[in-house]
Structure 1
Amino acid sequence: MPKDPDTPTGPRHVAIIMDGNGRWAQARGRPRLFGHHAGARRVREIVEACPDLGVKYVTIFAFSTENWKRTQVEVAGLMSLFRRYIKKEAKALHDEGVRVRFIGDRLRLDGKLVALMDELEEYTAGNDRVHLTIALNYGGRDEVARATKRLAQDVATGRLDPESVDEETLPKYLDTCVLPDPDLVIRTSGEARISNFLLWQSAYAEYEFIDTLWPDFTDEIFAGLVRNYGSRERRFGAVKT
């Protein structure tokens, strides 16, 4: 739910569509996977910047349900990158007090990758300095469909009264049920669309579409966008008196 509009704070939860890795690599005459590796290294810098900026939650869009349409070489490379990232970064994330969660449909993912995801979630479960959520094989419409299916099952079995269902009910079935809604959504690379990312949760989010490609997205740029959020007037449908 949106925060009280009278509370003048910075964004507590920032969601990021990390776009532009492939173009960044191609501009340097390198294969697209080179850009994805560069983008993965950028994640740590942004996560480490969060505490000083007052950002408690950060959610990153790593792989969408639509990304399976890419070449087999790129998809296989990305899955290998995800496994490598988890193995390499687990201790550093834990030592920084980062709690990691994954959202998305895990059924299509490789079993070894899912096992690593589960292990990282369990390993960092006691941390609370920053909450990093990684959207992997995630799509907003797919998430709502899966949530609706679970809700319907509870109605069918009598665990949920259909007359009690309202806009507060569905979020309890979403992948993000334990997270606050994002206050700010950032998309890099110059594209001005949300690409099926956190559709329900971002109903009241502020958006920033910037030209910077993700591997060039520095903590200084991030800090500037967080500060800019604080200058926006957020009324949530009300009229300022």
Structure 2
Amino acid sequence: MGGAVEQPLPRHVGIVMDGNRRWAQAIGQTAGFGHRAGADHLGDALEWLRTRGVDHVSVFVLSVDNIRKRSAQEVGHLFGLIESVLPATIERSQHWQVHISGDLALAPPGARRALRRAVELSRGRAGQLTLGIGYDPHADIVAGVRAALADGAAELDGEDLVRAIGERLPGGPVRDIDLVIRTSGERRISGFFPWQAARAEIVFSPKMWPAFTEADLDAALAEYARRRVAVRI
């Protein structure tokens, strides 16, 4: 009889934190209350992932579509949370090096300063955390292609060209996302890092993001492992 099959762990996990407003409405609270709970909850999830040995996490915080479609008041509140909650959460952990993917020109000055400070203060840490803020998937890929061409990649073909583009996209050293978790029961990707997540397994959780638990994370990791083992057999 053969030995036990090793349970593969995703090296890079992507998170679409969806359902904050619906969670708040379900308990009779405002959308702002839900967004604050969701922002605070990210710190819990990062700690769970750290203790399980995941060394790169990419998080959808605020896309360009979010900025365009939501009211100015709600967007302002979201940027306020980005300025006040996210950097403090990252600093408390002392584990994650921050990378920003997106157009920070869309952020108010205070949020831009807080995020740039978080990037500077977190350099050299063991874990990698990519935050999609003002993120547009097309712009992300176009920027990577342009950077690769500017560095002479026009002479490359096939996988070499793909690698050159991927290496120039924002984020840490682990480019390919292995597992994407989207909460709230929505079964779509909504432009979440399409280049990096091209080969990712996707787990859709019915839980709203503030209600997503450590057990739910373990279930998603177990589902990833089940699928990867099935591919090997």
CA-atom RMSD in angstroms: 2.1
Where 1:121 maps in the other structure, the secondary structure is: helix
Change beyond 3 A, Cα 1:30–1:122: same
8 Å contact kept, 1:42–1:218: no
Distance 2:73 2:114 in 1: 22
What is the CA-CA distance between 1:112 and the residue it aligns to? 2.2
What residue number does 2:134 align with? 137
2:211 is equivalent to residue 213 of structure 1: no
What is the CA-CA distance between 1:67 and the residue it aligns to? 0.7
What residue number does 1:89 align with? 89
Distance 1:88 1:121 in 2: 12
Within-5 A mapping of 1:161-172: 161-165=153-157, 166-172=161-167
Q: TM-score, normalised by structure 2?
A: 0.88
- Give the 4+ runs in structure 1 shifted more than 4 A: none
2:170 is equivalent to residue 175 of structure 1: yes
What is the CA-CA distance between 1:39 and the residue it aligns to? 0.5
Change beyond 3 A, Cα 1:11–1:107: same
Number of residue-to-residue matches in the alignment: 225
Where 1:101 maps in the other structure, the secondary structure is: strand
2:224 is equivalent to residue 226 of structure 1: no
Where 1:167 maps in the other structure, the secondary structure is: helix
2:30 is equivalent to residue 31 of structure 1: yes
What residue number does 2:117 align with? 119
Distance 1:122 1:21 in 2: 29
What residue number does 2:186 align with? 191
Change beyond 3 A, Cα 1:210–1:86: closer
Distance 1:17 1:174 in 2: 19
8 Å contact kept, 1:63–1:136: yes
What letter matches 1:214 in structure 2?
Answer: W
What is the CA-CA distance between 1:231 and the residue it aligns to? 1.4
Change beyond 3 A, Cα 1:124–1:176: closer
Distance 1:90 1:53 in 2: 17
Bigger CA drift: 170-179 or 40-49? 170-179
Distance 1:142 1:213 in 2: 29
Change beyond 3 A, Cα 1:211–1:161: closer
What is the CA-CA distance between 1:8 and the residue it aligns to? 5.4
8 Å contact kept, 2:63–2:135: yes
Q: TM-score, normalised by structure 1?
A: 0.85
1:140-190 deviation line (CA, Å, top 9, x unaligned): 2220122233334x1xxxx41522152222112211363331110010001
Gaps in structure 1 of 5+ consecutive residues: 1-5
